[in-house]
Amino acid sequence: MVSALATAQKSALDQKIKAVIKGKKATVGISVLDFDNNFEYNKNGDKKLPLLSVFKFHLASAVLDMADKGKFSTDQKFLIKKSDLLENTWSPLREKYPEGNVELSLGEIITYTVAQSDNNTCDFLLRLIGGTQTVQNFMDSKGAKDLKIQYNEDDMHKDWKNQYGNYSTTNSAVDLLKKFYDGKLLSKKSTDFLMQIMLGTTTGTNKIVEQLPKGTPVAHKTGSSGKPDNVLTVAENDMGIITLPNGKHYAIAVFVNNSTETEKVNTRMVSDISKIVWDNFNK
């Protein structure tokens, strides 16, 4: 039975969130899952929305699963060639090593891919494991629902409409984060490893982390399309596991989709919703 208190809490949360998204020309999917007392909230939580770089979490999980099975090790070194570093795509690694020909450990490549959302290292990992179908198969094997991963970053750059091809619901996103946190996706070693990388995420500082108290542990993965046709933002996303001052945790996913608002308005919606949820848990 849902308690009267939980129902009232959900209703108050819903009113505040509705006020944030009211009048905005965008579809906003929001899901919240408390890891300790099963409090759940969602708005448009079952809509299939484009993931963009959020899918790099799913990719990193699939790579680490292969490491758990002995196919790779996170210390193993790989040569990144200049031909691996495409131009005109987000790539902190290319900025650092424009000529390529650098040896990085698998762990470093995963860190670039998740914490800095590097598109070139993302596609390097996909080539290494046999493509997007490998990620999809791993996610299917773990019971991930309403999730499709079929395009790499290069595919999405060649035709921006492909950005709609990798999708998830926000309900699926928070359920997956709970499985990850509970150690049901990866070994303890790999779970801890990926958690540390996500805690060090440097992208999307204007999204779910922006208005939380300084120093709050947030293990998250962002995604952003920009405006590929100069009008429409396909997605402005963030999902993560947040640690409360009392040591408890919750997962939140906020995906802004098909928005004709400015980047500032889109990211502020994510930030405001995150703050409302945080305040709700810290009453």
- Topology (CATH level 3) of domain 4-281: Beta-lactamase (3.40.710)
Q: Is 146 exposed, middle or buried (0-12, 13-18, 19+ CB in 10 A)?
A: middle
Residues 169 and 49: beta-carbon distance below 8 Å: yes
pLDDT of 229 reads 87
Give the separation between CA 271 and CA 263, rounded to whole angstroms.
Answer: 12
pLDDT of 2 reads 60
pLDDT, tens digit (0-9, with 9 covering 90-100), for 78-90: 999 999 999 999 9
Q: For tokens 């060090």, name the residue.
A: 200
Instruction: Please list the pLDDT of the chain residue by residue as tens digits (283 residues).
Output: 567 777 888 999 999 999 999 999 999 999 999 999 889 999 999 999 999 999 999 999 999 999 999 999 999 999 999 999 999 999 999 999 999 999 999 999 999 999 999 999 999 999 999 999 999 999 999 999 999 999 999 999 999 999 999 999 999 999 999 999 999 999 999 999 999 999 999 999 999 999 999 999 999 999 999 998 889 999 999 999 999 999 999 999 999 999 999 999 999 999 999 999 999 999 8
The C-alpha angle with vertex 169 and arms to 213 and 277, in degrees rounded to 5, equals 25
pLDDT of 38 reads 80
C-alpha distance from residue 43 to each of 23, 201, 210, 273, 275 (Å): 15, 26, 21, 11, 16
Query: Tokens standing for 120?
Result: 């070139």
pLDDT of 7 reads 85
User: Residue 234: how many CB atoms within 10 A of its CB?
Assistant: 24
Which residues are known catalytic residues? 53, 153
pTM given for the model = 0.97
Per DSSP, the three-state class of 100 is coil
Give the separation between CA 273 and CA 41, rounded to whole angstroms.
Answer: 12
The residues, any chain, with a CB within 8 Å of residue 64's CB and separated by 6 or more, are 74, 110, 186, 190, 193, 194
pLDDT of 8 reads 85
DSSP state of 213: P
Residues 268 and 207: beta-carbon distance below 8 Å: no
Residues 223 and 54: beta-carbon distance below 8 Å: yes
Domain boundaries along the sequence of the chain? 4-281
Give the separation between CA 219 and CA 242, rounded to whole angstroms.
Answer: 7
Ordered alpha helix ranges (H), the chain = 4-21, 55-68, 92-96, 106-115, 119-129, 132-141, 153-158, 170-181, 188-199, 263-281
